[in-house]
Amino acid sequence: SVITKMGFTNYFLIVYDMIRYAKTQNILVGPGRGSAAGSLVAYCLGITHIDPIKNQLLFERFLNPERISMPDIDTDFPDTSRHKIIEYLQAQYGADHVALIVTFSALKAKQALRDVARVKNIPNLEIDSIVRLIPNVPNMNLNKAWNEISAFRSKIQSKASYLDLFHTALKIENLPRHTSQHAAGVVLSQKEIVEVCPIYAGDGTIQSTQFTMDYLESLGLIKMDVLALKNLTTVENILSDLKKTYGLELDIYKLNQNDKKTYALLSSGDTIGVFQFESDGIRSLLRDIRPQTFSDIAIALALYRPGPMENKNVYLANRNHPETIHYLHPLLEPILKETCGIMIYQEQIMQIAQTIGNMTLAQADSLRKAMSKKNKALMDSYEEIFIQGATAQNIKKEIATKIFKTMEHFADYGFNKSHSYAYASLAYAMAYLKANYPLFFYRSLLDSVTGNKEKSADYIFECSKRNVPVLPCSIVSSTDRYCIENNGIRMPFQVLKGIGKTVYDKIIQERKKKPFQDLYECMARLIACGIKENALITLINAGAFDPLYPSRKTLAENLDQIISYANLVKVEDETLHFDFSVASPPNLIRLEEQVLERAQKEKEVYGFYLSEHPISSLRKKRFQNLRTLREISEQLGFVSVLGRVSRIKPYRTKKGDLMAFLTLEDETQMIDVAIMPRLYGQIKGSLQENQIILLNGKKDRKDSILAQKIQILSFDL
């Protein structure tokens, strides 16, 4: 009745129709997001997948009949399918009735300086030295940099041209620089959109509005967010592989929510690759909470926000010692028991207003909003209603006042329970798939980061921790994607530097004709179909020829002879064929290969270490007494560790001094390292990514080290 009265029936049906279409095309649809998960109508239509009655989600948090505003139903689709949904909307409602939304990128401090410098012909090296002095911190602008960063101010004052640059940049800072498309927003119009607002051609495939999203609803356009979510693509691929391999059809929204393996994985923080649970901070929180129920997962998501995190210690103390929890009134216990006596969700504030203050849920939602916006006049009027409602139920005025003040405090930090539960369902599904089908999970996860060497290295490292073998590229069996092979995951050709589609397509097509028999026959066929020497060297160093000949160094050093032999046996008459009887295969000069040399060549072609981590070799050779990062994970105090620098992120302090944050890895795990300005000033000229270092420092927290001494080691140790 509320939906109909507010005139939103068509909106619901349009969203339903879009989702119905996706499901008919076997496109995985997200569980819902935001407050829409509190709508039973949305749940019954299949727009959302969380039962709002079972989970005590509130419709009035989504649509408040006392506060008319457009509903906001945002929908997630796999990032490979979002375009299909928009194409459907165009086909269904007319291309002239559907548009994306324009956004304007504003000039920030650094870009303003760079753009002005280009016009004023200030060399790149000079402008680089200026913008480097502006720290990457939130809300930084040119005036703030001038007032707070003495090194920046001195640099600008050092030349008249720099002062002119600065004053000109000040005038254009925050002006729009260029247009792009909103990442998710789509608008629909009953009339042709051009009759309602001007349109912009964009990239030519679909029009965009010339007005930004803030002005579209007031013009009568329906706005919805059609979002691309990479995690859904990962899940969709896992489900597809399980169906092809085992004939198993899983519905991720109907999984057993009491799966022991899943909760063990979540409780250990083993959630790399799991939606919403990848960061070190939330993994640490999971280890503290040790989730045992679906509700615990949603709470972890709600707590891990800048405001709610202030309540983490109180929540954990109450969780570990429930006997110490004190409720200001017995009526609060059923509402707050789930969250161990504290208010974590906005819906809890609404329930308290309803139960204690005898308010309607519509009033309760308006109160929640007034509290979060700190609208004092409105809060005061609601406080009077709340206390009157409480005293009418024989609740003492002083108790009611205390409860109201507590609500006021927590309203700042309250999180939308509907959103938390919706996203927890996708997080649980990914954790379930990781715990129960790790091979399929990692195969799809690695596929999702092909081309990103840092992420690929992280996930391969994660596979090694879980004893999931990642096999090098193979000329015999690799394809254009990661594949499951012999209880391991075989890497695709395209991860290799310099092996593009034109190269690996030739290999795959040649292999389809018939399998490769031996090294010489394989080489002859590859060379004949146009694979060049540099590509062969890459494939050798990657281990792709290992199934046919295990010594990579021998192959690489004798490649000229092998190519000569391949050209010799090639016969080109009416058809291309090979006559291996015309000459004997060359005698290859066998060469011994060092483990570190082999590892380094793998690093060059893959972008990361694959079969042998150099830290493992160095530890055996010279550093047997040093403990691994995993062994010191619970240790605090002074530590000495051996590791590879996988990432360096320089950072300017508020004083303008340069420091750095490192990610250090060994063969067991990774850790963050902070290098203060004094030490960083001594080593920054020689410290680089991928170097192996011996680090001495102080470990005040489980997940980071403050560096005190760094020694750079060489590969030949």
DSSP letters of 185-199? Answer: EEEE-SS-GGGTS-E
The values of phi and psi at residue 214, to 5°, are: -65, -25
Contact 672, 703 (CB under 8 A): yes
pTM of this structure: 0.83
| Separation between Cα atoms, residue 118 and residue 138, nearest integer Å | 25
Q: Across the 717 residues of the chain, what is the mean pLDDT of every consecutive 10-residue run?
A: 91 95 96 93 95 94 81 91 94 94 91 95 91 86 91 92 95 91 89 93 80 88 91 96 95 95 96 91 93 96 87 93 94 95 94 95 90 84 93 94 91 90 97 97 94 83 86 95 94 93 94 93 93 95 94 94 91 80 88 82 86 79 85 88 90 87 86 94 89 92 90 71
pLDDT tens digits for 606-656? Answer: 988 787 777 877 888 788 889 888 788 878 899 999 998 988 989 888 788
Token pair of 578 as six digits: 């090979």
Rounded Cα–Cα distance for residues 694 and 644 (Å):
9
Output the pLDDT for position 202: 67
Assess contact for 674 and 697: CB atoms under 8 A.
Answer: no
18's enclosing H/E stretch is helix 9-24
The pLDDT, as a whole number, for residue 204 is 65
**Region at 674 (left for phi over 0; alpha for psi -120 to 50; beta for the rest):** beta
Distances, alpha carbon 716 to alpha carbons 428, 595, 614, 622, 644, in Å: 46, 11, 11, 11, 15
**What ranges do the domains of the chain cover?**
2-104+179-232, 108-174, 235-419, 463-606, 614-713
**What is the rounded distance in angstroms from the CA atom of residue 490 to the CA atom of residue 667?**
20
Closest CA to 344 of 319, 376, 377, 366: 319
Report pLDDT for 717: 41
Q: Give the architecture-level CATH label for domain 614-713.
A: Beta Barrel (2.40)
Q: Which pLDDT belongs to residue 123?
A: 92
Between CA 642 and CA 625 the distance in angstroms is 11
Protein fold of 463-606: DNA polymerase; domain 1 (1.10.150)
3-state SS, one letter per residue, for 541-567: HHCCCCCCCCCHHHHHHCHHHHHHHHH
DSSP type of residue 358: -
H/E element, 382 = helix 376-391
What is 108-174's CATH topology?
Arc Repressor Mutant, subunit A (1.10.10)
CA separation, residue 269 to residues 279, 280, 282, 286 (Å): 10, 9, 8, 6
* Residue 298 backbone class (left: φ over 0; alpha: ψ -120 to 50; beta: rest): alpha
In the numeric block, the tokens 């001038």 are attached to 146
Contact of 449 with 588, CB cutoff 8 Å: no
Q: Specify whether the CB–CB gap between 530 and 567 falls below 8 A.
A: no
Furthest CA-CA distance within the chain: 105
Which pLDDT score is estimated for 329?
A: 95
Contact indicator for 192, 199 with CB cutoff of 8 Å: no
Q: What's the pLDDT score for residue 203?
A: 65
Virtual CA dihedral for 154, 155, 160, 163, nearest 10 degrees?
A: -80
* Pick from 548, 458, 460, 542: nearest CA to 494: 542
What's residue 503's pLDDT? 94
- Retrieve residue 62's tokens: 């989504």
